[in-house]
Amino acid sequence: MKDFKIVFTGTPGAGKTTAIAALSDTPPVTTEVRNSDARLDKAHTTVGLDFGQVDIGDGQCVRLFGTPGQARFEFMWRIVATDAAGLVLLIDNSRPDPLADFAAYLDAWRDLLPNMSCVAGIGRTEGRARPTVDDHADLLASRGLVFPVVAVDVRRRDDVLMLVDMVLALAQTRA
């Protein structure tokens, strides 16, 4: 039986590396380097991929992959997404235009979304009232897409588990 692969993608600083670290049984493999992009308010950024795994017994595991967030590494996204059953799209709501970010990621993943179990997690909503999670859901609806859009704090393991739970629910109905 194939392992189950979930990919975490989304804007720089949205918490992809943190989310994977929250679930992984083993210390996650990261490719973080010192950030040289002045537009990003963070000390380190992922330039390759992040990897973690959850052992489910009998030699099988859930493999968790994180893509680099910066658009210049977009070519990596599809490589990382090969054979993925689930996609967690994380949006940092504190960035200047989170809806444009969300739209850009929907465009980038457009042809894969119909066949993947996708969930969107909107992070850092506490300090910023707009756009609301419902605004993000409206954007999704305007594109004729239907998948979960929820507020998350990826520093909380329960929130990351909630995202994975929804990916599994979608995968279960697709099976």
Partner 1 sequence: MQNPSSPSRLKLLAQHLSENDLARIAAFLRVGCSRLQCSWELVGDGPAHLLLCGRDLPRAAPDAMPSLSVTDAQPGRPVGRNALVRPLQYDAFMDALCALEGRLLGKAPAPAALTYITAQPLGETTPALLPSLLPGARCRLLRWPPSAVLQAHRHHRTLASFLSSRHLDLDELARLSNVERSLCDEFAATLVSLGFLDVQPSSASSSTAPSTSLPTFSPAPSPAAPRRAPVPTGLITRIRRSLGLGR
Which positions from 133 to 162 touch partner 1 by CB under 8 A, shown as an x/- string?
Answer: xx--x--xx----xxxxxx---------xx
Q: Does 53 bind partner 1 (CB under 8 A)?
A: no
CB of 10 to partner 1, least distance (A): 17
Please list the helix, strand and coil fractions of the chain in percent, rounded to the nearest 5, in that order: 35, 25, 40
* Closest to partner 1 by CB, 73 or 147: 147
Q: How many residues bind partner 1 (CB under 8 A)?
A: 36
Binding track, positions 86-125, relative to partner 1; x by CB under 8 A:
-------------------------------x-x------
| Sole binder of partner 1 in the list 76, 104, 132, 153 (CB under 8 A) | 132
Region from 12-20, 34-42, 72-80, 127-135 binding partner 1, contact rule CB under 8 A: 127-135
* Residue 26 touches partner 1, criterion: CB under 8 A: no
- What residues have CB less than 8 Å from 132, skipping those under 6 apart? 125
User: How many whole angstroms separate alpha carbon 23 and alpha carbon 7?
Assistant: 13
**CA-to-CA separations, 77 to 89, 103, 138, 156, 157, in angstroms, rounded:** 12, 16, 25, 25, 24
Q: Report if residue 171 touches partner 1, rule: CB under 8 A.
A: yes
SS3 assignment for 27-41: CCECCEEECCCCCCC
The answer to whether 115 touches 127, Cβ cutoff 8 Å, is: no
Residues 6+ apart with CB under 8 A from 47: 31, 32, 33, 68, 70, 73
Among 31, 60, 70, 94, binds partner 1 (CB under 8 A): 60
Instruction: Point out which residues bind partner 1 (CB under 8 A).
Output: 1, 4, 23, 54-57, 60, 62, 117, 119, 132-134, 137, 140-141, 146-151, 161-162, 164-166, 168-175
